[in-house]
Structure 1
Amino acid sequence: MTLKKTAAGLLILTMAITGAACSSKDSATSPSPAATTTATPQATAAVSQDTTNMKGYIAARIAREKVDYLFAEAKSADGAFVVNPIAATDKETAKKFLSSYVDATMLDTLVNHYVTDTKAGAAFLTNTKSYFTSNILTTKKEDITFDAANTAELVKFTTKDGATYTTKKVNDKYLLAEVK
């Protein structure tokens, strides 16, 4: 009988502690009316534009990293640059790999610039001359001038050395669309 009373007592104590923990969690996570604030439309727009600009800038940097990884990292036995066999084997698989980072409007031109018709063993040699006139990977946010007409769908910016990058939003992701 004592064992039953002890078990019942522990069950009641556990339920009381669980109930107290749940009710204190609910009150801690529920905002009170006095705690809520509303941002002014101008402040929200400024933050959103800065965020959008940075997303476009970061997307361009990532695209450049992927291009370098694919075309300027792997070498053949004789030391020539080849399409990185870890990511792609030819123009079509290179396009497929880059399609997550580069917009379709730029993809053919970019891949055709790098992938040659010459092979070293099973791998295609790549053009060693960069498609890009400047290296965005060496820039900092302070080196960038964002276009005042940027939108949530299109981000354009210029580096301090004069290269202009355009990224556009495709399926909720920014892709590199143009470099001049």
Structure 2
Amino acid sequence: MTLKKTAAGLILLTVMLTGAACSSNQPKSSPSPAATTTTTVAPQATAESQDAVNMKGYIAARIAQEKVEFLFAEAKSADGAFILNPKAADGKEKAVKFLSSYFDTAMVDKLTAHYLTDQKADNAIVTNQKSFFTTNLLATKKEDIAFDASNTKDQVKFTTKDGVTYTTKKVNDKFVVAAVQ
């Protein structure tokens, strides 16, 4: 009988110790050392290198040029004239709004002045067939580009192998084309 009481006592003691160890009352406001280390490392892991930022600026310029092609040089009227793409815009105001996602205001003004004419075909604005861009960025590769050494996380400038310089700047966490020279 003493053996049974001792065994029951040991089992009870083991259960109590196990329960106490599992439900440790560590304060919620002070993180464990492992959590502190993870928190400290995370911001460093999210920091972007300048090379990654440069690529974002370059890719943004490529996408912007592709959108200009889509808007001004893809749709044709029944008689074959290039017209403002009705899928994206049916007038100058909508074209400006569409382009403002990819270019800053000054560049949007230059692009619309270059492409939009006073002529109409099929009830749409006829566009200038001559490209605003002297370099087709869509035909370039990273190896064809020289990035400016003074680039920052908010501005990326690069030059193509044929000497055209693009400047992109960050607006609302996204790069837009600010200049083409």
* TM-score (norm: length of structure 2): 0.74
Q: Per-residue displacement from partner, 1:139-172 (whole Å, max 9, x unpaired)?
A: 0011110000001111000011111001000011
Aligned to 2:131: 130
Q: Distance in 1 between matches of 2:94 and 2:77?
A: 18
The equivalent of 2:151 in structure 1 is 150
Counterpart residue identity of residue 57, structure 1? Y
The one-letter code matched in structure 1 to 2:152 is T
> For residue 105 of structure 1, what is the aligned residue in structure 2?
106
Superposition TM-score, scaled by structure 1 size: 0.75
Letter in structure 2 aligned against 1:87: A
Contact 1:90 1:115 in 2 (8 A): no
- Residue 26 of structure 2 corresponds to none
Q: Distance in 2 between matches of 1:114 and 1:87?
A: 15
Which residues in structure 2 correspond to 1:17-166 (within 5 Å)?
48-166=49-167
Per-residue deviation at 1:121? 2.3
Query: Do the aligned residues in 2 keep the contact of 1:91 with 1:112 (CA within 8 Å)?
Result: no
Any gaps of 5 or more consecutive residues in structure 2? 1-31
Deviations 1:6-46 (A, max 9, x none): xxxxxxxxxxxxxxxxxxxxxxxx9958x97969x9x997x
Q: Deviations over 1:81-117 (max 9, x none)?
A: 0000010012111011111111112111111100101
Query: Quick one: which amino acid aligns to residue 62 of structure 2?
Result: R
Q: How many residues align?
A: 147
Residue 172 (structure 2) aligns with? 171
* RMSD of aligned residue pairs (Cα, Å): 2.4
**C-alpha distance in structure 1 between counterparts of 2:102 and 2:126, whole Å:** 22
Distance 2:81 2:120 in 1: 10
Letter in 1 for 2:142: K
3-state SS of the aligned residue for 2:67? Answer: helix
- Structure number with greater Rg is 2
Q: Which runs of 5+ in 1 are unaligned?
A: 1-29
* Residues in 2 aligned to 1:103 and 1:164: alpha-carbon distance in whole angstroms: 16
**1:48 CA drift (Å):** 1.5
Question: Percent sequence identity over matched residues?
Answer: 68
